[in-house]
Amino acid sequence: MRRFQQYVNGNFEDGSVSFESLDPSSGQPWAQMPEAKSDDVNRAVKAASKAFDAPEWCNLTATQRGKLLLKLADLIEEHVQELAEIETRDTGKIIRETSAQISYVAEYYRYYAGLADKIEGAHLPIDKPDMEVWLRREPVGVVAAIVPWNSQLFLAAVKIGPALAAGCTIVVKASEEGPGPLLEFARLVHKAGFPAGVVNIITGFGSECGAVLTSHPSVAHVAFTGGPETARHIVRNSAENLASTSLELGGKSPFIVFEDADIESAVNAQIAGIFAATGQSCVAGSRLLISRKVKDRFLELLTNKAKTITIGSPLEMNTEVGPLCSSQQVEHIQALVDKSQEQGAKVLTGGRPIEKEGFYYPPTILDCSDVKDAAAIQNEFFGPVLSILTFDSEEEAIELANDTPFGLASGVFTQNLARAHRMIKRIKAGIVWVNTYRVVSPIAPFGGHGLSGHGREGGIEAALDYTKVKTVWLRTSDDPIPDPFVMR
């Protein structure tokens, strides 16, 4: 059984205790993971705090920080296959997705490497004579980053990259579900030559690891990706240290198809939007809102494609849908499917766990057209389940799209450019994809509104989240400052 270690202050070490990680494709233990307790967390934060002020890091120029990030990007590119196999083994995400995604992760570090020496301040045209006033952007300090198990190297990159580019130091908590890839990634951080304590990577459970980390007095900013309930705990914890937060949470994203859409293209995008990553994606297009005029044609194509999806071992390159990450996730999904059926939803395909070793659930499509308040419409499955509603007008489509407390992503399929612009303006979501879906870039920020969180990851906006503004006043006159108590 493989044994992973945590990375604290430039050293690889065992945690206070360890726990077994299960292979989702078999349900059997495959690795021992270090479990960080409060002492481990305190040491990691202390190391990050010390490194923040150490000359080895704080005296580096922004360009030098960028060069370290470039070296890290090159190392990721060299170790894609190794990292991908670990992520697939530990989380069940299929190898064709992990290898492609990790290859692209290197581009995020390259983007932030280039951005490091372009985080600029400003000169103010102040209304006072003999005064020069400017703004400096400086790193906030120690960052606590909490990353879920799905797409974890990508979700870590959009925190680590901008934080280091801004000059911060960081403690990353990998999810206790499948932390192997991030713990292995620490070896690349070490090899890239970052000073000890600049990047620390641990894993552990909520009460003894996450709670201690997010409330730690030396933490200045908390970056979190996960669910709204955990986010609420983090916000409460941050009241202890008054840390700023950026929260990238869940979604129940509308995928809207109008009667004039390119139907075949929209079907393919919907398949990718809900069944890619086995549906375990925060931006999954899990609510199909379809014009009644094209519903039958669209669903015929969609269900036929869904039934031919190859389900199998995540390590096989021909597999298109692999296992879910845990047995608890299978149970959660089945409970929502059962409740939705009781409410009147119709199962068009799937709907029951696959009877095989591991945590498998088939691509499932639920027609909820007659039950708009079904559990499947309002709750996030985080799995390969699509819920369908129909609409008769653009106004109704908007109402259905915005009938959710979430606001992360959305998709609009139409050939009508004017309609597309109207939808872009009125949909309450942080991302609107038009005639495409689930596309990302390091240049473009992503994030949501409402229960989908706040703050942005990716783009320049993310880097600014890791800075604070300092205002500098400089008096340029050589004349003495007048006595304030002498009347003139």
Query: Mind listing the pLDDT tens digit for each residue in 152-211?
Result: 999 999 999 999 999 999 999 999 999 999 999 999 999 999 999 999 999 999 888 999
What's the pLDDT score for residue 488? 67
Averaged pLDDT for residues 15-21: 91
Judge whether 488 lies within some domain.
Answer: no
Judge whether 277 lies within some domain.
Answer: yes
Question: Within this chain, do residues 152 and 97 fall inside the same structural domain, yes or no?
Answer: yes
Given a cut of 80, is residue 441 above it in pLDDT?
yes
Given a cut of 70, is residue 76 above it in pLDDT?
yes
Annotated active-site positions, please? 248
Question: Within this chain, do residues 162 and 268 fall inside the same structural domain, yes or no?
Answer: no
Judge whether 77 lies within some domain.
Answer: yes
Averaged pLDDT for residues 95-107: 96
Question: Within this chain, do residues 412 and 318 fall inside the same structural domain, yes or no?
Answer: yes
Q: Which tens digits make up the pLDDT trace of 469-488? A: 999 999 999 999 989 898 76
Question: Within this chain, do residues 245 and 272 fall inside the same structural domain, yes or no?
Answer: no
Judge whether 362 lies within some domain.
Answer: yes
Question: Within this chain, do residues 100 and 12 fall inside the same structural domain, yes or no?
Answer: yes
Residue of 116, 221, 200, 194 whose CA lies nearest to 463: 116
- The rounded percent of the chain whose pLDDT value lies above 70 is 100
Judge whether 423 lies within some domain.
Answer: yes
Question: Within this chain, do residues 360 and 453 fall inside the same structural domain, yes or no?
Answer: no
pTM (2 decimals)? 0.94
Judge whether 94 lies within some domain.
Answer: yes
* 386/347 Cα distance (integer angstroms): 10
What's the pLDDT score for residue 16? 82
Question: Within this chain, do residues 161 and 295 fall inside the same structural domain, yes or no?
Answer: no
Given a cut of 80, is residue 56 above it in pLDDT?
yes
What's the pLDDT score for residue 120? 95
Question: Within this chain, do residues 359 and 337 fall inside the same structural domain, yes or no?
Answer: yes
Residue of 274, 254, 294 whose CA lies nearest to 398: 254
Q: Which tens digits make up the pLDDT trace of 270-324? A: 999 999 999 999 999 999 999 999 999 999 999 999 999 999 999 999 999 999 9
Residue of 68, 5, 63, 65 whose CA lies nearest to 31: 5
* Total of domains in the chain: 2
What's the pLDDT score for residue 1? 86
Which runs of E-coded beta strand occur in 339-424?
A: 346-349, 364-367, 385-391, 411-413
Burial of 470 (0-12, 13-18, 19+ CB in 10 A): exposed
Judge whether 479 lies within some domain.
Answer: no
Question: Within this chain, do residues 205 and 314 fall inside the same structural domain, yes or no?
Answer: no
Q: At 472, is the secondary structure helix, strand, or coil? A: strand
Judge whether 231 lies within some domain.
Answer: yes
Averaged pLDDT for residues 4-19: 95
Question: Within this chain, do residues 87 and 232 fall inside the same structural domain, yes or no?
Answer: yes
Q: Which tens digits make up the pLDDT trace of 324-338? A: 998 999 999 999 999
Range of the domain at 265: 254-434
- DSSP-assigned beta bridge partners for residue 131: 475
The tokens for 120 are 């600029």
* 66/78 Cα distance (integer angstroms): 19
Question: Within this chain, do residues 227 and 303 fall inside the same structural domain, yes or no?
Answer: no
Residue 350 sits in a domain whose CATH number is 3.40.309.10
